[in-house]
Amino acid sequence: MDNTDIEYLRTRRIYTAVFHIALFSLFLYLLFSPETQNPVGGRSGHMRDFSEDWTVNGAASVNLDQFAAADYGGSATLSRALPESLDWNDQLCFTTANLRFTVSIDGVEVYSFDRPENLTGKGYGIAYHSVNLSPEMAGKTVVIEGESVFENHKGGRLYQPLIGSDAGFRYFLAGRNLISILFSAGMLFVGVMLILIYAFLPKKQRMRREIVSLGAVAFIIGLWSTNDTGILRLLTGNVVVDRVLDHALLHLLILPLALYISANTKERQTRYLRMILALTLLDIGCFLLLRYGFGLDMAWLSPILAAYYVLSFTVLGAMFVSDSRYRRRNNITVERKLSNIGVAAMTVSIFLDVAVYFMGVRSMQGRGFFMRFGFVVFVALIIIQTIRWWITDRTSVNRDRFVNRILQYAVSASDPDTSIRAMLEYLCTELHADRAYIFEEMPDGTFDNTYEWCREGVTAEIGNLKGLPYEGVVDTWYNEYKKSNNILIYDIEEYRSVSEGMYNVLKPQGIQTLVTGPMEANGRYIGFFGVDNPPPDAMREISEIIRLLSFIFAQLVLHRDEQKRLMRYSYYDAMTGCRNRRALEEFEKQRLDPAKPYGFVMCDINGLKAANDTLGHEAGDAMIVDVSQSLMKVFGADNVYRTGGDEFVAYAQREDPAAFEADMAQLHALLAEKKRSAAVGAVFRANGDPDYKKAKSEADALMYEDKRKYYQGRNDRRGS
């Protein structure tokens, strides 16, 4: 990782911090905005509070926000004088809950509200009303005669009376519950997105059940809590849909919640799910029977719903306890901290709402004020934990599948180099690391990075990591390998106290986390391999994989070395180190590109026989080595071939004749410096030539011409 990458990461962190600060600031503004805290006025069109000084049944004076018909035997007559000044756009706006009523001004009925019995019973919940006013009504007395819709005279409320426009009233209602609406709509959106994600996931994708069940939980909670804020009724005015959603959704919540919890247990016993299903069917059956068989209003069946929740949570608690025992017996650890916090938040919020309900607090609109936020916290934490589990699941690769795949790479190619590189690519990609690499011990006792694979965007380091010393650097790891057979670095800064030398090697590469293991062969370490910057939560799993691959990588390296030795015997000349005739034939068949410019050189040593006869074969061998080294220095070791006892050929990969001529001049200078003589024939194909045999024939003719000149006047062509 270079300075550009580091600067990019710093910039990204700054932008991320600014984004979160801005988002949090927006949330605080919405929460504490004057219009949210007190929407009367502002954009609401200067709504006037009209809740004080109402007369009930001609006697008591009350604030309508505290009024309930049940306190007056189920019915009451409310009256108050209208303001002394009214505009043509003014309306008397207010909210009712399970109340039928008529509105009269100076004895003239101007508005009435009643609804027939619906699917859920006689109750029709919260409703919003706007009564038209006019300037001539100023100062007149408005009378509201209200009655609870229930036969037992329970319930029946009228509250939030305001004078202003209908649009302003709706803005006031939305602003009053803005935070609840935002949370509820956000939860609904999350549920829909999770269900859509499930629909597009492959069938074999793990955690599909968790995703769809969690999506169903978030969708149900989001829809119920959104409906409970009154925003759907405010937008549509539909009573039946509002009441059906209000009563039906909570009966459908427990089953997907149980499916999600069951999918994340290790014991995976279905008896608890069967019990939850039975309780759900029993609960729904009781509601339907009592409602449509006996005609009871669903508003009075809440104790059955409460009992259903208590029994269901008891079963879910038993599922947790049983799974915890199972995990302890089998030594299985599962991170559940976030879900436990979510369950605690949801439980506390439910108890707060129950307490508020029995205390008769009427200042909160709708039921489940605290439960709504408790459910939001619960689902949000569950989603975060599920994402963490999903990431962990993807990085905690199934060992059998992973190792089997690695073995396929190891045996699929005849060339060990190809197998090693393919294995490193798979290792790095599958483990979500930045780099995968191998270091090998060199003949001088230092260590070189010999193989490397980097994910896209990561700077390669193989060219920089050569000659690592054993003392003070690698010896630290070798000592740790003897203890644990691998090394896990979770924080490079903390590792500095362990090995300052290795820290100085790792830190400039941008390494923060690391897992590495040794390569061992014949009872000794021959190097090490590992991955840089894998996900910290997957490092334990990765360390086991590294341990399993240690032997495989070591054997591939040994096989590669053996293959190189065999290849050297097959394709290289043992005396000179340059390639042999077999290598030349293979090059000309498979690797030579006749479309590109190239030069061809033929070389025959002068005076070799005389040196062998008069000075001995050691002197002749020295001549062969000197000439071959001169050729390899000019044209490269991989481009020089020994085709006979004193004959060599070379290919020069040059783009223009001038560069080739410079090579030839350098060759003659080197031969003269070594006091060696050789006949040389050279041709250059500026435009390439597929008929390389013709080029060889021309070079051969030039070489023999040079040879003829060298021996001109001598009786023996091979004499001194």
Q: Give one DSSP letter per residue of 96-151, joined into a string.
A: EESEEEEEEETTEEEEEE----BTTBS---EEEEEEE--GGGTTPEEEEEEEESST
Interatomic CA distance for residues 278 and 283, integer angstroms: 9
Q: How confident is the model at residue 269 (pLDDT cuts 50, 70, 90)?
A: confident
SS3 343: helix
Please, which pLDDT band fits residue 23 given cuts at 50, 70 and 90? low
Which of 74, 81, 79 is CA-nearest to residue 59?
79
**What is the dihedral angle through the alpha carbons of 438, 441, 447, 452, rounded to the nearest 10 degrees?**
-20
Q: Is the separation of the CB atoms in 64 and 51 below 8 Å?
A: yes
Highest mean pLDDT of the ranges 151-165, 392-406, 581-595, 672-686:
672-686
Average pLDDT score over the chain: 82
Averaged pLDDT, 213-229:
84
Q: In this prediction, what percent of the chain has a pLDDT beyond 90?
A: 30
- Cα–Cα distance, 97 to 123 (Å, whole number): 9
d(CA 432, CA 426): 10
Q: Helix or strand or coil: residue 489?
A: strand
The pLDDT score that the predictor gives to residue 265 is 81
Q: Is residue 717 over pLDDT 60? A: no
* Rounded Cα distance, 115 and 157, in Å: 15
Given a cut of 70, whether residue 93 has pLDDT beyond it is yes
Q: Which of the 8 DSSP states describes residue 468?
A: B
Neighbours of 495 (CB within 10 A): 21
CB 153 within 8 A of CB 75: yes
What token pair was written down for 20? 């979160």
Q: 172, 152, 154: which is closest to 162 by C-alpha?
A: 172
How far apart CA 532 and CA 458 sit, in angstroms, is 11
Look at 401-405, 545-549, 614-618 and tell me which has the smallest mean pLDDT: 401-405
List pLDDT tens digits, range 536-549.
877 877 887 888 88
- 275-304 residues labelled b (16+ CB within 10 A) or e (exposed): bbeebbeebeebbeebbeeeeebbbebeeb
Other Cβ atoms less than 10 A from the Cβ of 716: the count is 9
Residue with tokens 């927006």: 26
| 248-252, 278-282, 304-308, 365-369, range with the lowest pLDDT | 365-369
Could you tell me what percent of the chain has a pLDDT over 70?
A: 85
* Rounded mean pLDDT, 436-444: 92
Q: Which two tokens stand for residue 188?
A: 């609904």
**Residue 87: which region, alpha, beta or left (left: phi > 0; alpha: psi -120 to 50)?**
beta
Write down the pLDDT at residue 51. Answer: 92
Question: Would residue 91 be called left, alpha or beta, if left means φ above 0 and alpha means ψ between -120 and 50 degrees?
Answer: beta
DSSP secondary structure string for all residues of 377-422 = HHHHHHHHHHHHHHHHHHHS--HHHHHHHHHHHHHH-SSHHHHHHH
Q: How far is CA 17 from CA 21, 27, 221, 512, 521, in A?
A: 6, 15, 30, 21, 50
338 and 385 Cβ atoms separated by less than 8 Å? yes
Write down the pLDDT at residue 627.
Answer: 94
pLDDT attached to residue 442: 92
* N-to-C CA span, the chain: 62
Q: What are phi and psi of 432, to 5 degrees?
A: 55, 40
- pLDDT score, position 44: 46
The confidence score (pLDDT) of residue 125 equals 81
Hey, what are 213's tokens?
Answer: 């069940």
pLDDT for 397: 47
| Per-residue confidence (pLDDT) for residue 399, from 0 to 100 | 62
Reported as a pLDDT band with limits 50, 70 and 90, residue 414 is confident
Residues 6+ apart with CB under 8 A from 617: none
Q: Taking residues 142-157, what's their average pLDDT?
A: 89
pLDDT digits (tens, 9 = 90+) for 452-486: 999 988 989 898 889 999 998 899 899 989 888 88
Count each helix (H run) and each strand (E run) in the chain, helices first. 23, 20
Of 656 and 26, more confident: 656
Q: Helices 539-571 and 399-412, interaxial angle, to 10°?
A: 10
Q: Could you tell me how far CA 149 lies from the centroid of its own chain?
A: 53
> With bands split at pLDDT 50, 70 and 90, how would you rate the model's confidence at 317?
confident
Task: Report whether 81 contacts 73 (CB < 8 A).
Answer: no
Asked if the model's pLDDT at residue 569 lies above 60, the reply is yes
- Model confidence band, residue 335 (pLDDT cutoffs 50, 70, 90): low
Does residue 20 register a pLDDT over 60?
Answer: no
Among 158-172, 322-336, 599-613, the minimum mean pLDDT is found in 322-336
Which segment of 15-24, 121-130, 627-636 scores lowest on mean pLDDT? 15-24
Let me know: does 217 contact 249? Beta carbons within 8 Å: no
Beta carbons of 244 and 287 less than 8 angstroms apart: no
pLDDT digits (tens, 9 = 90+) for 241-260: 888 888 888 899 899 988 88
pTM for the full predicted model: 0.51
Query: What is the average per-residue pLDDT within 582-604?
Result: 85
**179 vs 185: CA distance, rounded Å:** 10
Can you state the angle between helices 302-329 and 254-263, rounded to 10 degrees? 0
- Of the two residues 713 and 712, the one the predictor is more confident about is 712
* CA–CA separation, 627 and 676 (whole Å): 7
